[in-house]
Structure 1
């Protein structure tokens, strides 16, 4: 539970929530995925899917901003990612949802991003799978889980998200 920012999320058995975001080549430590330079917000919670490792990591991240500019553009996807935007309703909360992908230098990242405004704040919930192409290792490394399965499991965790009364 985050009483300062007014939300809670059920923590699955065997998962240890963190108050910060670990970074990688493509998955930075910003408060939300694809945050523009100068974007203002704070990372509040991250939970990694059990089995995540240096090859593939899957995380649910929640970041929050009460900066007026961030609240205004909260539900607007980053430039170049406007295709595939849809509405999602989870636990009675309306989110704008989009998928974004990136790849560079044998690294990849897939993000299912959920954005909503509540009580004058922008909430960014990112379901992220990121890592290194396992084929660059000799012998090739094994991914701990398929990307689609990881996103499906993280999406199930999102069902435990709610705002505090």
Structure 2
């Protein structure tokens, strides 16, 4: 890359003044020369971070976005045939209205083992009031606070198992702009040993949880 040559302001102004033989400098010539000198001396910084148009998902009304995340596929619904019904959050009460927003599905997920980061919201008054309350079936551990993009979320872990199926959820809840925001890191599937011969999962539970934590870092709170 060629080095940037910084031209003194007086030199640029002089060139503008004496250009065109005996023609007197026009005001716009002086202003243009001044702008050029300023740009050379102090070029605009590159667009980075939140200012860059790099979100793979963004909802300005709700104030949520997702940065690109390697190894995950973006889905605009929460319904997959290997997981439970696509409610706006896991263990949502049937009469609690909400909106499923988006999911990041870990590549390779199948009916044996699947992993998703799911986001849903609700403005239902009951949902907002109880947003931070763990559902029945939560672990005996007390909920803790986790910062996501600098904002406080209540975190708890819940799980469910029936016969050969299971699901484990790290749930994150936050009330913002009079709505409940639910982020669920969900690992679910079928025990491989029930198949004959035993099935081979695409990844183990520990790996799935670790990758979902990486995906959590893609969440941005934009308003």
Q: TM-score, normalised by structure 2?
A: 0.70
**Pair 1:74-2:117 in alignment:** no
Structure with the larger helix share: 2
The equivalent residue for 1:19 is: 76
Greater than 4 Å deviation, 4+ residue runs: 23-26
The equivalent residue for 1:2 is: 59
Unaligned residue ranges in structure 2 (runs of 5+): 1-57
Residue among 16, 23, 42 paired with 2:99: 42
Unaligned residue ranges in structure 1 (runs of 5+): none
Residue among 18, 26, 29 paired with 2:86: 29
Inter-partner Cα distance in structure 1 for 2:135 and 2:164 = 23
Residue 105 of structure 1: CA displacement? 2.1
Residue 36 of structure 1: CA displacement? 1.2
- Deviation string 1:22-71 (CA, Å, 9 cap, x unpaired) is 24576221100011121111100011101111211100000001111111
> SS in structure 1 opposite 2:59?
coil
Structure with the larger strand share: 1
38 and 114 in structure 1: CA distance in 2 versus 1, 3 angstrom threshold: same
- Deviation string 1:108-161 (CA, Å, 9 cap, x unpaired) is 101000000111110000000101111111100011111121111111111121
Q: TM-score, normalised by structure 1?
A: 0.93
> SS in structure 2 opposite 1:16?
strand
Q: Which has the larger radius of gyration?
A: 2
Inter-partner Cα distance in structure 2 for 1:129 and 1:3 = 28
Task: Assess if the C-alpha contact under 8 Å between 2:104 and 2:116 holds in 1.
Answer: yes
The equivalent residue for 1:144 is: 202
Residue 99 of structure 1: CA displacement? 0.7
The number of equivalent residue pairs is 165
Inter-partner Cα distance in structure 2 for 1:92 and 1:112 = 18
Inter-partner Cα distance in structure 2 for 1:42 and 1:133 = 30
Inter-partner Cα distance in structure 2 for 1:129 and 1:54 = 11
